Structure 1
């Protein structure tokens, strides 16, 4: 039964990732219009930023640092098989995925969770690989 609970928790984090990501996308292009009647408060832009942060955090719980309690390696037995499936599913090499993973983890560590005033990121990371890797694990 403990294995079932571990797998179920991964589904919960995956679902949290999908909810935050798709909610982020739904309001992203509408923030200016939705915020227009709130002067400088910008509640929808703020909510969109919170959804972005939640998206990053939830993906990193499963695909970020191996030390994460919820990392996929703690429930998937055949790591090599899953990696092979993952890289084929997302059409990336292990090196490309690792570089992407490092960028997302760095963005989480230096912008989302801890603010590093010297951290310069060109733009908010794209989530196509994060989304496709979450689908592959699901």
Structure 2
């Protein structure tokens, strides 16, 4: 059952995430865990969303990107290819004011090239905690 092992994360919406990784390999495929069930409207493809997020490579301690560290949420259209596939597939259909944990395999992230300047290697699984405002 190691494929279903996900990191643990503090579940408070809006709080800077603290991620603890299990002693296991990243799960296969796109995995989405709802940490806080939102009570807002459902996110639909084409909607503009405002999110806070914290992104790390599976098993690493330091984020490669974090809106919490910048103090400014991100805003973009979802479900239309403006962001990586893991976000388009992971956020559409969720409710606003939710906190999600996403484990995104390379085929739904940055693929075999990665983004070396951000510390993302080809084939890396990405982990995001996303608060949908």
TM-score (norm 2): 0.28
TM-score (norm 1): 0.28
Select the structure that is richer in helix: 1
Select the structure that is richer in strand: 2
